């Protein structure tokens, strides 16, 4: 059975595992689908998306650096996309209209709490970065019961905007990147920056890592290696990359598009062999 035409947009995008993941999900249901990568520079993103859907595209995943633009171009947005102001899933609607969703936060929390069996309730969390990925994660962390969320970004205005959008200063607040060494230790540290993807080092102080801390990079593979190596050296109890998050968010998109929930664990296990 043919399931239609799908894609993932990013810049760069050739490294993406999304085609492999969605094809694996499709095989679980005997579906055949076309799923490809589309590299679009920021200035070309909107026109590339509209061209894709005008040519019969049914759905698209969106990754760096386009999540805010994906939200902005949509005709309809889900509640999770609206509150985060970003989208990682676009879906064709009748009449040439486009719907935007954000599955980042739910996929991340499901990976941490279900796959890795870590209860987030009561944690003091440090969120590094305030871009599209961080927007998707922030509300989900609060929903999952973290006690406080400290947001730190190299451009403080971006972090302030995210904290203001959350609107809960008792739980979600910002600090300056230059003050990281003086902030104390955290139970949960999430790297939502693009540093690893760009091959850059964050140069983080060990003092922010609590005795039983979970360090989690929203990236995976090579992009997460530096942060995870730092976390292990700092003595973190857990150090995970975002491969499971990627699989879980893909499953949410697949269910949106096909009305069927795939089994994520065998797909995750197979990919883990490649990125162990």
pLDDT in tens, the chain (276 residues): 557 799 999 998 988 999 999 999 999 999 999 999 999 999 999 999 999 999 999 999 999 899 999 999 999 999 999 999 999 999 999 999 999 999 999 999 999 999 999 999 999 999 999 988 899 899 999 999 999 999 999 999 999 999 999 999 999 999 999 999 999 999 999 999 988 877 788 889 999 999 999 999 999 989 999 999 999 999 999 999 999 999 999 999 999 999 999 999 999 999 999 887
Phi, psi dihedral angles at 225 (to 5 degrees): -60, -45
Distance CA 264, CA 180 (A): 36
Query: Is-cis flag, bond preceding 12, omega within 30?
Result: yes
Q: Are strands 59-62 and 89-92 parallel, antiparallel or unpaired?
A: antiparallel
Residue with tokens 């520079």: 41
Superfamily classification of domain 105-241: NAD(P)-binding Rossmann-like Domain (3.40.50.720)
What is the residue extent of each domain of the chain?
A: 2-102+246-274, 105-241
Q: Which residue in 234, 243, 196 sits closest to 214, CA to CA?
A: 234
Q: Which residue in 196, 168, 173 sits closest to 183, CA to CA?
A: 173
Query: Is-cis flag, bond preceding 27, omega within 30?
Result: no
Distance CA 166, CA 183 (A): 21
Beta carbons of 153 and 88 less than 8 angstroms apart:
no
- Chain segment 113-161, per-residue pLDDT in tens: 999 999 999 999 999 999 888 998 999 999 999 999 999 999 999 999 9
**Which of helix, strand or coil describes residue 159?**
helix
**Which of helix, strand or coil describes residue 182?**
helix
In b/e form, how buried is each residue of 120-157, taking b as 16+ CB within 10 angstroms?
beebbbbbbbbbbbbbbbbbbbbebebebbbbbbeebe
Q: Which residues are catalytic?
A: 67
Q: Are strands 98-101 and 76-77 parallel, antiparallel or unpaired?
A: parallel
Neighbours of 181 (CB within 10 A): 11
pTM exceeding 0.85: yes
State residue 59's pLDDT score: 98
Q: Domain spanning 2-102+246-274 has what CATH number? A: 3.40.50.10860
Q: Which residue in 120, 110, 85, 79 sits closest to 247, CA to CA?
A: 110
2-102+246-274 and 105-241 agree in CATH topology: yes
């Amino acid at each position: 059975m043919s399931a239609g035409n799908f894609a993932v947009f990013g810049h760069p995008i050739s490294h993406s595992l999304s085609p492999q993941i969605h094809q694996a999900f499709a095989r679980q249901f005997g579906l055949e689908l076309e799923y490809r990568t589309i590299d679009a520079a920021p200035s070309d993103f909107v026109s590339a998306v509209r061209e894709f859907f005008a040519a019969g595209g049914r759905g698209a995943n969106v990754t760096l650096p386009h999540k805010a633009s994906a939200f902005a171009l949509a005709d309809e947005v889900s509640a999770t996309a609206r509150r985060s102001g970003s989208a990682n899933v676009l879906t064709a609607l009748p009449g040439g209209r486009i719907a935007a969703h954000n599955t980042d936060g739910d996929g991340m929390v499901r990976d941490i709490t279900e796959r890795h069996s870590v209860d987030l309730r009561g944690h003091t969390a440090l969120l590094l970065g305030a871009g599209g990925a961080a927007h998707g994660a922030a509300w989900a962390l609060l929903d999952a019961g973290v006690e406080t969320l400290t947001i730190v970004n190299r451009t403080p205005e971006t972090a302030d905007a995210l904290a203001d959008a959350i609107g809960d200063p008792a739980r979600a607040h910002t600090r300056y990147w230059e003050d990281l060494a003086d902030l104390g230790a955290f139970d949960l540290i999430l790297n939502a920056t693009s540093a690893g993807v760009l091959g850059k080092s964050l140069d983080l102080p060990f003092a922010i890592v609590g005795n039983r801390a979970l360090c989690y990079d929203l990236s995976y593979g090579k992009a997460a290696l530096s942060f995870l190596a730092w976390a292990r050296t700092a003595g973190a109890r857990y150090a995970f990359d975002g491969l499971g998050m990627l699989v879980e968010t893909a499953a949410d998109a697949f269910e949106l598009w096909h009305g069927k929930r795939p089994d994520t664990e065998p797909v995750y296990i197979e990919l883990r062999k490649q990125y162990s």
